[in-house]
Amino acid sequence: MMFTIRGIPTAGIAVGTAFVLQRRASAAATAAAGDPVAEAGRFHAALERAKAELSALAEGEAVFAAHLEMAGDPMLAGLVEGRIAEKHLSAEQALGEACEEVCGMFAALDDDYLRGRTDDVRDVCARIGRILSGETAHDPFAGLAPGTIVVADELTPSDTAQMDFSRVAGLVTAHGSVTSHVAIIARNKGIAALVGVAGCMRQVRTGDRLIIDGERGELIVDPDPATGRKYAARLESLRQDAFRCAADAQAPAVTPAGRRITVLGNAANVDEVRRALDAGAEGIGLFRSEFLYMQGPALPDEETQFAAYRAAAELCGARPLTVRTLDIGGDKALPYMHFEPEENPFLGWRAIRVSLAMPELFRTQLRALLRASAFGNVRVMFPMIASVGEFRAAKAVVETCMAELDAEGVPYDRDIALGVMIETPAAVFIADELAARARFFSIGTNDLTQYVMAADRGNPRVAYLCDAFDPAVQRSIGMVLDAAHRAGIEAGMCGELAADPRATQRLVALGLGEFSVGPPAIAPLKHRIRTDK
C-alpha cells in the first residue's frame, strides 16, 4: 500500500530500493577513567592515528581536509585535556563532552552553512572515539545494488566517503537541514536527498521501493504503477535539463529579452572559491570570513587573514571577491571570546555591532582585506547594518586603516568598494539613505525573512512563518532594489532565495541583477535565467 512521509525539501528526484542503515552500538562513552596522565596519553595517541587516517582520506575527498584541520585544532585537544585533568574523566567521556561543546558553538551560529558543520565535528570525534575504543572500521555500504536509496537516522562524511555513488540513487535521513552534510553532498554529487524525514527509520524497511521527491519534500513508499511512471518521466526530463545546464555553465546569463544578469558564488573558504569559479561563477558574492576565526584557539592575526584573503583574491583575479566582515555575537560566540548571555541574541550584540565595539579586532581584519585588495577585485561588505551611523562608523575605520597603510608604504586598492548586507527591516526602510553612501547592496534573505516575519527559522513552532515568498518579504526586497536603482548602485542577493528555482523569474522581474549562490546551483540558475523558465 502506497504511503507518503513528509520531510524538508532538499534536492532532486530519485526512484530506487531502500537500504536502511542500522548502527552498531558503541560502548565508548561508558569507559572507566584511569590515571589522568594515562588517559591524556590515550587520547593523544588516538588523535594522532585519526589525523593519519584523515590525511590519507584528504587526498581523495576535500571534506576530509577540513576534518584534518578540525582534528588538529588545539581547541578540541585543549577541551579534552581540561576535562581529563579537572573532572578525572576517561578519554572517551572527555571527548564526548568536548564534542558537545564544540557542536554547541557551531549550532548557535546564525549562518546556516556554518551551523550545518556540526556533522563534521561529530564525525571527527566519532573517528577518534572509535580508535580509543578499539573498534574496527566497518563498511556497511559494501555491495550496494545499483539504484539504492540509503535511509539512515543521520549520515556523516565518513559514511558517504564509503559509498559508491554510481550505485546510490538518493539519501534519506531522519534528521538534518538543507545545510547539513547530506544535503550538501547530494547537491555536489547530483543525486536526490530528503532530510528531516521523521519516522523514516520506523516506517521504511530494507528492500522497500521508494521515490524521493526532494523538491516537494516527500518520500513515497511502495508507489503504485501510475506514480512510478509519472516520476520516471520526470527523471528523464531532469536528466536532459542537467545536460543542457552543464554545457553552458561558463557562458554569461542573458535573459530572452537581452538583459545581462551576473551570477556569483557563495564560499566559506578558499577551496570553495575555487569550486564556485570552476562551476561557472563570475566572482564571489559572499565570502564568509568566520572560518578564519574558528580554526584556532585565538583570534587570527593580520598575516593569517591576509594570506587567506590574498589567495582568494588571486583566484578571482578581476572578478569580484565580496568579503563579509566578521559576523559573530551573542548567539554565535567563539570559544576564546566571552560574550555575556542575552535573552534575545538575534536582536542583540552581534555582527557590525561587535566589530565597532572592538576596534582592534575590526582594524586587524580591515587591514588584511585592504592589503589583499592589491591582488584582486576585493569588495568589503558590512553585515547587520541598521543605521546610517553604523555604516559611517565602519567606513571611518576603513579610512583610518588606509591612512596607516599609506604611512607604512603598503599598497592597496584606494577605490575599494564598501557595501551593505541588507538583513534588517531598518536597512530596508532607510535603503535610499544607505544607497547614497554605499557602493553596493547584497540582500541576505535568510535573516531578512526572519526579522520581517518576527519568527526564528530555527524554531519549528514558527518556522512556517519564515517564508521568503511572503508579500511582506517580497515587498521589502522590491523597496531595496528600487532604492539601489535610483542611486545607480549594484544590488545583489546572497541568501537561500537566490538559488530557489521558484524565485528566479520573480527576482529578475523585480530588477535583481546579481545573484550569489552555492556552486551546485550556479549552472541551473544560469539556465533558468536564459530560458525564462
Q: Does residue 117 have a pLDDT over 90?
A: no
Name the 3-class secondary structure at 40: helix
In percent, the amount of the chain with pLDDT more than 90 equals 57
Residues facing residue 8 across a β-bridge: 195
Residue 54 confidence (pLDDT): 84
pLDDT surpasses 70 at 386: yes
446 marked among binding-site residues? yes
Q: 495: closest CA among 440, 423, 446?
A: 446
What band does 449 get if pLDDT is binned at 50, 70 and 90? very high
Residue 331 has pLDDT above 60, yes or no: no
Q: Which residue has the higher pLDDT, 59 or 425?
A: 425
Lowest-confidence region among 419-423, 441-445, 499-503:
499-503
- pLDDT of 61 reads 65
363 annotated ligand-binding residue = no
- The pTM is what? 0.69
On the question of pLDDT at 113 being above 70, the answer is no
Sign of CA dihedral 501, 507, 508, 509: positive
pLDDT band at 498 (very low <50, low <70, confident <90, very high): very high
All CATH 3.50.30.10 domain ranges of the chain, comma separated, are: 3-21+140-240
266 annotated as ligand-binding = no
Predicted local distance difference test score (pLDDT) of residue 3:
95
Does residue 332 or residue 480 have the better pLDDT? 480
CA 397 to each of CA 371, 403, 423: distance values in angstroms, whole numbers, following the listed order: 15, 10, 22
pLDDT bucket at 457, cuts 50 / 70 / 90: low
Smallest CA-to-CA distance from 431 within 482, 384, 390 is with 482
Residue 523 has pLDDT above 60, yes or no: yes
432 is in an annotated binding site: no
Q: How do residues 254-286 score in pLDDT, each as one tens digit?
A: 999 999 999 999 998 898 899 899 999 999 999
The verdict on whether residue 111 carries a ligand-binding annotation is no
- In angstroms, the CA 182 to CA 120 distance is 11
Average pLDDT over residues 357-382: 97
What is the largest distance, in Å, between two alpha-carbon atoms of the chain? Answer: 77
| Per-residue pLDDT, 274 | 93
Q: Taking the alpha carbons of 399, 403, 408, 410 in that order, is the dihedral positive or negative? A: positive
Query: Strand 284-288 relative to strand 320-324: parallel, antiparallel, unpaired?
Result: parallel
Cite the beta strand spans of 282-408 per DSSP E: 284-288, 320-324, 377-382
Q: Check whether 295 has a pLDDT greater than 80.
A: no
CATH 3.20.20.60 assigned to 249-531: yes
Give the model confidence (pLDDT) of 147-179 as tens digits. Answer: 999 999 988 777 887 888 889 999 999 987 766
Residues 236 and 230: their CA atoms lie apart, in Å, by 10
pLDDT at 460: 60
In the chain, CATH 1.10.274.10 covers: 36-133
Distance CA 204, CA 201 (A): 6
Q: In what order do the strands lie in the sheet with 168-173?
A: 3-6, 218-221, 209-213, 13-20, 148-152, 168-173, 192-195, 8-11
Task: Give 245 or 427, the one with higher predicted confidence.
Answer: 427
User: Burial of 242 by CB count in 10 Å (0-12 exposed, 13-18 middle, 19+ buried)?
Assistant: middle
**490-493/13-20 β-pairing:** unpaired
**Average pLDDT for 402-418:** 98
Closest CA to 180 of 96, 123, 129, 137: 123
Find, among 435, 433, 468, 436, the residue nearest to 452 by Cα: 468
Average pLDDT over all residues of the chain: 88
What's the average model confidence in pLDDT over 467-475? 94
pLDDT value at residue 200: 94
Q: What is the mean predicted confidence (pLDDT) over 283-310? A: 89
The phi, psi pair for 85, rounded to 5°, reads -75, -40
Nearest Cα neighbor of 120 from 165, 166, 167, 73 is: 73
Least confident of 15-19, 35-39, 337-341: 337-341
CA-wise closest residue to 214 among 201, 231, 229, 227: 231
Q: Range with the lowest mean pLDDT among 72-81, 413-422, 503-512?
A: 72-81
Superfamily covering domain 3-21+140-240: Phosphohistidine domain (3.50.30.10)
Confirm if 28 and 92 have CB atoms less than 8 A apart.
yes
Question: Is the per-residue pLDDT at 16 higher than 90?
Answer: yes
Band (pLDDT 50/70/90 cuts) for residue 110 is: low
Residue 383 has pLDDT above 70, yes or no: yes
The pairing of beta strand 13-20 with beta strand 209-213? antiparallel
Which superfamily is assigned to 36-133 in CATH?
PtsI, HPr-binding domain (1.10.274.10)
Q: CATH 3.20.20.60 in the chain: give the residue spans.
A: 249-531
* Residue positions annotated with a catalytic role: 181, 494
Beta strands in 204-283 (DSSP E): 209-213, 218-221, 253-254, 260-267
Grid cell listed for 204? 521504511
What is the residue-wise DSSP string for 46-107? Answer: HHHHHHHHHHHHHTT-HHHHHHHHHHT-HHHHHHHHHHHHHH---HHHHHHHHHHHHHHHHH
Known binding residue 457? Answer is: yes
CB 221 within 8 A of CB 158: no
